A and B are shown apart, each in its own frame.
Chain A
């Protein structure tokens, strides 16, 4: 039962100090660990800013040195934030439409069928990455073949194996988006690129740079996170066949099960903010211009909020997790992610009897004081038909 376990390395620091410290490229981060403090900071966008001058600084590890394009609406604060969010929000709610779900279901059925047809499969590259990339073509409303190139980039397109950030790798994505935007300018269609370029914010058309900011966010924000959620789900159900059995018998717990798995996995460990004025959190002084992060993964294990916080309780009814963030900047892709989880779990209950983990290598994030498992670098699994 150990391989699918995601432990909580923050417990001691959360209870004793409420914060952790992490050095990130000489730009230290005070990690906020408690559920209540995390929500308080996320709510207070004036003191804990996303839209500061230095683009990329709220991401941990910082992307200041590898990115100049502002991600939108992510790195814009109110009141401007609202104009952008209103533009993209309806598009990112499309996963609620029946047609969208049908297409997504087709994709997920295909990857599951492929896994069942093979002797064994490496789930990160051959299952989760494919699923995530193909699902993204639906979110962007582009032809399915577009996913082939994204899949060929591998899982390390934004990070190289040894250094956390690699600008030459990041540029592959930025150049690709530039080229796709140019095509959409020349030949507008019904895809997200074209829709953004035709959108207006307060009566002015979005610039190419602004559209690029939304596209980078869409590609980057939904890649590792979805891959981790999918891979961790496979690992969890491989080690807990009775949980898969239960979902088969009680489909009515599907919603609570999804939210619980997302809480437990917390595919995005943390997100940063820049402090705009001298203040404090948990009696810890913070200087203006320093950085904090809201550690979603720690907040989601806060024993003051969640009973049996380190257990997966599939029918947890009240589950105020912050795995999709909280407040103004909550996750734009959450509707898409939730549909992926819903359909994946449904297809697994329909087609898969059991799964076995044959071999795996964990993906451990090094957060100085803490080491956190966020998923797997690779995991070899055998899928057995129902």
Chain B
């Protein structure tokens, strides 16, 4: 089980729990505002963009090349940007805090 916190653009904080699938899927199941997951998680739409809490960057690790190329063209990209469909839910992510990108 991993507990993951999402902070949405309206300032709301939601804590959700999961053990399988991607972080995007977990967010969509829990109707987290701003995570649409249009492409179903194949790294083609960027509607699952989140900013990782900088102190927890080690937990998630950096995006790989194809994910990075996708983020490069996103207007709200930060040093701590990830596509949440490319992150697998696991114990390692327990306690993670993500801010949903606008």
Most chain A CB within 10 A, of B39, B41, B67, is at: B39
Assess whether B95 is interfacial by the CB under 8 Å rule. no
Q: Report the minimal beta-carbon distance from A301 to chain B, rounded to whole angstroms.
A: 15
Identify which of A305, A319, A334 contacts B42 (C-beta below 8 A): A319
Q: A39-B73, A305-B66, A326-B73 are in contact. Are A319 and B38 (CB under 8 A)?
A: no
Q: How far is the CA of A321 from the CA of B46 in the complex (A)?
A: 12
Identify which of A43, A319, A335 contacts B44 (C-beta below 8 A): A319
Assess whether A12 is interfacial by the CB under 8 Å rule. no
Q: How far is the CA of A324 from the CA of B86 in the complex (A)?
A: 20
Q: Report the minimal beta-carbon distance from A92 to chain B, rounded to whole angstroms.
A: 11
Q: What is the 8 Å Cβ interface bit string for chain A, positions 111-125, against chain B (1 contact, 0 not)?
A: 000000000000000
**For residue A287, which residues in chain B have a CB less than 8 angstroms away from its CB?**
none
**For residue B69, which residues in chain A have a CB less than 8 angstroms away from its CB?**
36, 39, 305, 320
Q: Which residue of B lies closest to A306 (CB)?
A: B66
The size of the chain A interface, using a CB distance under 8 A, is 23
Assess whether B70 is interfacial by the CB under 8 Å rule. yes
**For residue B61, which residues in chain A have a CB less than 8 angstroms away from its CB?**
none
The answer to whether B43 touches A335, judged by C-beta atoms less than 8 angstroms apart, is: no
Q: How far is the CA of A36 from the CA of B66 in the complex (A)?
A: 11
Interface residues of B in 35-73 (CB under 8 A from A): 38-45, 66-67, 69-70, 73
**For residue A317, which residues in chain B have a CB less than 8 angstroms away from its CB?**
42
Q: Which residue of A lies closest to B36 (CB)?
A: A93
Identify which of B40, B42, B44, B73 contacts A327 (C-beta below 8 A): B73
**For residue A326, which residues in chain B have a CB less than 8 angstroms away from its CB?**
73
The answer to whether B66 touches A255, judged by C-beta atoms less than 8 angstroms apart, is: no
The answer to whether B42 touches A318, judged by C-beta atoms less than 8 angstroms apart, is: yes
Chief secondary structure at chain B's binding surface:
loop
Most chain A CB within 10 A, of B42, B45, B66, B69, is at: B42
**For residue A316, which residues in chain B have a CB less than 8 angstroms away from its CB?**
42
The answer to whether A318 touches B73, judged by C-beta atoms less than 8 angstroms apart, is: no
Identify which of B38, B41, B66, B73 contacts A335 (C-beta below 8 A): B38
Assess whether A40 is interfacial by the CB under 8 Å rule. yes
Q: What is the 8 Å Cβ interface bit string for chain A, positions 299-324, against chain B (1 contact, 0 not)?
A: 00000010000000000111111101
Q: How far is the CA of A320 from the CA of B66 in the complex (A)?
A: 7
The answer to whether B42 touches A255, judged by C-beta atoms less than 8 angstroms apart, is: yes
**For residue A305, which residues in chain B have a CB less than 8 angstroms away from its CB?**
66, 69
Q: How far is the CA of A1 from the CA of B2 in the complex (A)?
A: 46
Q: How far is the CA of A256 from the CA of B66 in the complex (A)?
A: 16
Q: Report the minimal beta-carbon distance from B64 to chain A, rounded to whole angstroms.
A: 8
**For residue A63, which residues in chain B have a CB less than 8 angstroms away from its CB?**
none
Assess whether A259 is interfacial by the CB under 8 Å rule. yes
Q: Which residue of B lies closest to A260 (CB)?
A: B42
Q: How far is the CA of A316 from the CA of B86 in the complex (A)?
A: 13
Q: List 6 A-B contacts (CB under 8 A).
A: A255-B40, A259-B42, A317-B42, A318-B67, A320-B69, A334-B38
Extra contacts, 16 of them, besides A39-B69, A255-B42, A319-B43 (Cβ < 8 A), are A39-B73, A43-B73, A255-B40, A255-B41, A259-B42, A317-B42, A318-B66, A318-B67, A318-B86, A320-B43, A320-B44, A324-B44, A326-B73, A327-B73, A334-B38, A338-B38
Q: Which residues of A contact B (CB under 8 A)?
A: 36, 39-40, 43, 255-256, 258-259, 305, 316-322, 324, 326-327, 330, 334-335, 338
